[in-house]
A = this chain, B = another copy of it.
Amino acid sequence: MILTVTLNTALDVTYRVPRLHAHASHRVADVAERPGGKGLNVARVLAATGHEVTATGFAGGPTGAVVRDLLAASPGVRVELVDCAGTTRRTLAVVDESTGDTTQFNEPGPLITSAEWSRFLSRYEALLAGGARAVALCGSLPPGVPVGAYATLVRAARTAGVPVLLDTSGEALRRGVAARPEIIKPNAAELAELTGSRDPLPATRAARRRGARAVVTSLGPDGLLAATDRGTWRAAPPRTLSGNPTGAGDSAVAGLLSALVEGLDWPERLVRAVALSAATVRAPAAGEFDPRTYEEVRGSVKVTEG
């Protein structure tokens, strides 16, 4: 089983409007709701590619109940979310159909108490001991969770002998990487914030020196750059795919972890991650991917060493 951790789960709401006019009133004809938060996207992609997956993190209040219900209806994801007294946040994407542009509103997460954090830690340790073969730690920390939370979770996974991938940003990433995760997967902005360098190859290598065994940097439509203990690779899709990039990074995480669990080597891991990312760009929402694009791209990802 692969375990995904989403401390700041969300209910992702999408409104489609014919055209967005600031300071006007809009009738929303089309409302969609999905479980949100990076780790839940990873879990849904893993389940859709046939992997056993368990999703943990926090859920609370009426939106938390909706997230639980939507996840329960999402085939193959075992739900091990821990209740919190606060209310799970909503994230709202307003899509302007005249341009395809999105205006995003992100609510703050619920305040997590120290008792709730302790309860989560117990659940997490039980799940690690209960057959987890890899862990993904994904996304932002809700208020109240200690800023060193990911360092704690990385160390617990290492103690349990479970490889851990960390995908977060800012201080949570800085502290987490020092605890020596197996993989971190920053995008260019997160990497620059961590290392101070905007040049991908030196920055990726610099990030590795901060403690991660491997650093896989997302280069957006240009693919992935990986610095590992076995070497350095670039993996690129055969062509630039237009679409919605939301969730592409989460699908890359799903690809990296599933390939790791299957014992594949780095080039094969990167091929899978790039193909799942590209297939997510062609799908309507994060946590989903277009199977035809996945099959097509998988056969033609270009991996170069050095």
Contact = CB atoms under 8 A, between A and B. Distances in A.
Interface in A1-48: 15, 17, 20-29, 31
Interface stretch (A74-82, A94-102, A163-171, A281-289): A94-102
Contacts of A107: 15, 28, 31
Contacts of A28: 105-108
A91 B103 CA distance: 17
Contacts of A20: 22-23
Contacts of A101: 22-23
Contact of A29 (B15, B21, B108): B108
A65 interface: yes
A105 B23 contact: no
A111 interface: no
Contacts of A26: 103-106
Contacts of A17: 105
Contact of A105 (B65, B66, B94, B99): B94
A27 B106 CA distance: 5
This chain's copy number in the assembly: 2
Contacts of A66: 62
A63 B29 CA distance: 17
Interface residues of A, number: 29
A213 to B, nearest CB: 32
Contact of A25 (B24, B31, B104, B108): B104
A91 to B, nearest CB: 9
Interface in A53-78: 62-63, 65-66
B96 A23 contact: yes
Contacts of A23: 20, 96, 99, 101-103
Contacts of A99: 23
Given A62-B66, A65-B62, A103 B24 contact: yes
A162 to B, nearest CB: 33
A92 interface: yes
A192 B26 CA distance: 22
A143 to B, nearest CB: 11
A63 B17 CA distance: 21
A92 B103 CA distance: 14
Contacts of A102: 23
Contacts of A96: 22-23
Contacts of A106: 25-28
Contacts of A31: 107-108
For the complex of A and B, the 7 pairs showing the least CB-CB separation, nearest first, are: A25-B104, A23-B101, A62-B62, A26-B105, A62-B66, A28-B107, A28-B105
7 contacts: A23-B101, A23-B102, A26-B105, A27-B108, A28-B107, A31-B108, A62-B66
Given A23-B99, A26-B103, A31-B107, 8 more contacts: A15-B107, A20-B23, A23-B103, A24-B104, A25-B104, A25-B106, A27-B106, A62-B63
